[in-house]
């Protein structure tokens, strides 16, 4: 597993510059760890220390919510959370727990304009999505409200979705889902407050219904926390006739050990 993930780390990079130009670029922009910025031998990679701290989510995990189990409970097992409150989406898959280097990568992309990290992160997401990504008919990013998009200048979920689409050769559908309600910032809100904040926040845009109706959709976001955001978005997609919604994120905030 470790060697496979390391290969993904390398192959997830964008196209390299011409061989003669690379030494010049390395001199101007020395390669460094994507998470901690310590000098490394290559661009868009993790240093050994950060690599060992990445908590990748591997089986066994809940088949619906993707929450990792500490031991194998058997094929098809669900977490107590998935049984008590089944989500509106069909399943969730994530690359790693939202801590350490994974958290640093998410924050780098989201808050420090490190859009160059998207291809590397998407390569790991492609592996996590597996057959559900390979068989999907639309990759849809969780949209930002237009006012927040103006302030931030880009949507981190859209950057990940765009890289995923290129790497998996699956259709990217950006305009189908829109954020019709300007919500409060989710940070610091309780689970119930997040749900209320995001109620009816998304809709499928007029004229784009055929891009969703009858389709197997992969809904992309950077982090899964309480699930309120992706639940609201998935609900809008299901109402528009999506037959299956798989949520695919880079990181997952694990609230309690399983």
Phi, psi of 235 (to 5 degrees): -60, -40
Is CATH 3.40.50.2020 the classification given to domain 57-252?
A: yes
Residue 83: both structure tokens together: 């049984």
pTM of the predicted model as reported, rounded to 2 decimal places = 0.86
Where are the domains positioned within the chain?
57-252
State residue 29's pLDDT score: 73
Contacts of residue 223, defined as CB under 8 A and 6 or more positions apart, other chains included, come to: 98, 106, 249, 250, 251, 252, 253
* Whole-number Å distance between alpha carbons of 184 and 200: 13
What tens digit of pLDDT does each residue of 117-153 get?
A: 999 999 999 999 999 999 999 999 999 988 877 777 8
pLDDT of residue 42: 80
Low-confidence ranges of the chain (pLDDT < 50): 14-15, 257-258
Question: What pLDDT, on a 0 to 100 scale, did the predictor assign at position 27?
Answer: 55
| Cα separation, 101 vs 228, whole angstroms | 24
Residue carrying structure tokens 């784009």: 208
């Amino acid at each position: 597993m470790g060697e496979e993930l390391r290969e993904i780390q390398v192959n997830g990079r964008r196209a390299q510059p011409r061989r003669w130009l690379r030494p010049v670029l390395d001199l101007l922009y020395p390669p460094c760890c994507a998470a901690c910025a310590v000098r490394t031998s290559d661009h868009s990679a993790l240093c050994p220390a950060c690599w060992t701290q990445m908590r990748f989510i591997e089986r066994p995990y809940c088949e619906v919510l993707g929450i990792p189990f500490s031991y194998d409970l058997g094929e098809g097992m669900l977490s107590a959370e998935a049984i008590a409150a089944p989500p509106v989406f069909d399943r969730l898959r994530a690359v790693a727990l939202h801590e350490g280097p994974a958290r640093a990568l998410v924050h780098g992309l989201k808050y420090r304009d490190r859009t160059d990290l998207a291809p590397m992160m998407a390569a790991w997401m492609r592996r996590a999505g597996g057959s559900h990504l390979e068989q999907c008919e639309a990759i849809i990013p969780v949209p930002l409200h237009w006012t927040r998009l103006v302030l931030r200048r880009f949507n981190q979920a859209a950057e990940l979705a765009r890289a995923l689409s290129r790497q998996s050769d699956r259709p990217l559908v950006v305009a189908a889902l829109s954020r019709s309600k300007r919500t409060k910032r989710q940070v610091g809100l309780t689970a119930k407050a997040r749900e209320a904040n995001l109620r009816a926040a998304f809709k499928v845009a007029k004229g784009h219904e055929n891009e969703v109706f009858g389709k197997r959709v992969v809904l992309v976001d950077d982090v899964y926390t309480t699930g309120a955001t992706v639940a609201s978005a998935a609900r809008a997609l299901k109402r528009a006739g999506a037959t299956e919604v798989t949520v695919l994120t880079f990181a997952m905030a694990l609230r309690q050990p399983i």
